[in-house]
Amino acid sequence: MKLQKPKGTQDILPLESAKWQYVENVARETFKKYNYGEIRTPMFEHYEVISRSVGDTTDIVTKEMYDFYDKGDRHITLRPEGTAPVVRSFVENKLFAPEVQKPVKMYYIGSMFRYERPQAGRLREFHQVGVEAFGSSNPATDVETMAMAYQLFTELGIKDITLHLNSLGSPASRAAYRQALIDYLTPIKDSLSKDSQRRLEENPLRVLDSKEKEDKIAVENAPSILDYLDEESQAHFDAVREMLEALNIPYVIDTNMVRGLDYYNHTIFEFITKVDKSDLTICAGGRYDGLVEYFGGPETAGFGFGLGLERLLLILDKQGIQLPLEESLDVYIAVLGDAVNSKALELVQAIRMQGFSAERDYLGRKIKAQFKSADAFNAKTVITLGESEVETGQVTIKNNQTREEVTVSLEEIKSDFATIFKKVN
């Protein structure tokens, strides 16, 4: 029997989860500024929701799905990404209806599951923050969404981050490019990796973002998709570039970037940073104008990105960024003697009910050990409660930094702790 966590998963313990909460809060606050609301979709979906939209030939669908048949013989998969479920929900809830304000802007934060080979920053259960905007084909939507990710990274203090930009164009220009790429790769097929030889048949664009060395060499002189954009695609791409420049958001054009998922068109992008000299993508996304229709909704433009939280936290860590985490307690109550156990509970509750964070001793320990706990919890103040305090109705409250003490009545604490707290701090 295995009583350890499954491979590729992790427990996020309180000290660590404080960082997660901080980052998630900054994300929520940032998205709010752009008029986004949160969507929560199920952790699992019908297999087809993912397989068909993400792409039958992608790594996610061919190798990485956590799928199973449930007791009703339904083919289910844990969600490997957030966009397909959100689009499914958008259509199912008829958010395309005219009375719903457009664009519809939604973000999600949650677990994703992929059966991958675990390594640094790559897990089987990982967490993504993602955003999706529906109903605007305006290039300003592309740019504000990239700007939103950029603002998030800036607010977190992340450095050395590069925006990589490319366009996949319209379906027609993509098809033209696909043929050009096949024509280029077929004569040098033997020099490609096994995987890429297969990709050449199924999904030649994916050869471009292979991580294998021989593939990287093979595609160095490949034709560029940007030479195959039709007029409309070119205009969209030019507008995106101009607006990025107007907002002073630096970017590089990366014509070999195609993204792992099949549903993108026009703008695609990644934010990449270096960790231990290797490139790490923390955020990736783009435009997916055909996806809503694919799920049975009306033709609707879409734009979004997904951002890996583990990788974001890894980068914060590697870059030595100290998050402003407030880990302190307003009050610690030292409890002297079993006789005042119940009174201590009343006191700590009274303080909590007035909006302060408070902890007490539960273990009947020596006073010294209790003061040590107060320090360990970073308590701002300490109240000592014993039988004599209960008898007189008077306690001392001590500032745990300056050691300054004030004597107050238990009644005052129960009726107006805020005033006392201010006096001591």
List the structure tokens of 358: 């408070």
Q: Which stretch binds ligand ATP (CB under 6 A): 66-74, 305-313, 333-341, 397-405?
A: 305-313
d(CA 122, CA 320): 20
Left if phi > 0, otherwise alpha if psi is -120 to 50, otherwise beta: which for 337? Answer: left
**Does residue 128 bind ligand ATP (CB under 6 A)?**
yes
Residue closer to ligand ATP, measured from CB, 128 or 267: 128
Which of 45, 81, 142, 215: binder of ligand ATP (CB under 6 A)? 81
Which of 85, 103, 304, 306: binder of ligand ATP (CB under 6 A)? 306
**Does residue 311 bind ligand ATP (CB under 6 A)?**
yes
* Closest listed residue to residue 374, CA positions, set 331, 418, 407: 331
Q: How many residues bind ligand ATP (CB under 6 A)?
A: 16
Q: Name residue, tokens 């990366």.
A: 254
What residues contact 308, with CB distance under 8 A and at least 6 apart?
121, 126, 127, 128, 281, 282, 283
List the structure tokens of 365: 């320990």
Which of 144, 254, 310, 389: binder of ligand ATP (CB under 6 A)? 310
Which of 282, 329, 390, 408: binder of ligand ATP (CB under 6 A)? 282
Q: Which stretch binds ligand ATP (CB under 6 A): 116-124, 178-186, 348-356, 387-395?
A: 116-124
Build a one-symbol-per-residue string for 199-228: x at contacts with ligand ATP by CB under 6 A, - elsewhere: ------------------------------
Q: Which residue is nearest to ligand ATP (CB)?
A: 308
Q: How far is the CB of 85 from ligand ATP (least distance, A)?
A: 13
The neighbour count for residue 196, using CB atoms within 10 Å, is 21
Which of 142, 257, 308, 383: binder of ligand ATP (CB under 6 A)? 308
DSSP symbols for 364-394: ---HHHHHHHHHHTTEEEEEEE-HHHHHHTE
d(CA 41, CA 385): 48
Which of 152, 284, 316, 358: binder of ligand ATP (CB under 6 A)? 284
Q: How far is the CB of 140 from ligand ATP (least distance, A)?
A: 23
Q: How far is the CB of 22 from ligand ATP (least distance, A)?
A: 18
3-state secondary structure of 127: strand
Which of 193, 203, 281, 394: binder of ligand ATP (CB under 6 A)? 281
Q: How far is the CB of 169 from ligand ATP (least distance, A)?
A: 19
- Strands 104-113 and 161-167 turn out to be unpaired
**Does residue 111 bind ligand ATP (CB under 6 A)?**
no
Q: Which stretch binds ligand ATP (CB under 6 A): 34-42, 95-103, 277-285, 388-396?
A: 277-285
Residue closer to ligand ATP, measured from CB, 128 or 370: 128
What are the two backbone dihedrals, phi and then psi, of residue 213, each rounded to the nearest 5 degrees?
Answer: -60, -45
d(CA 375, CA 271): 41
d(CA 193, CA 189): 9
List the structure tokens of 96: 């395309």
Element holding 77 (H helix, E strand): strand 75-78
For the chain, what's the residue count?
425
**Does residue 241 bind ligand ATP (CB under 6 A)?**
no
**Does residue 260 bind ligand ATP (CB under 6 A)?**
yes
Give the interface with ligand ATP as residue ranges (CB under 6 A): 81, 114, 116, 121-123, 126, 128, 260, 281-282, 284, 306, 308, 310-311
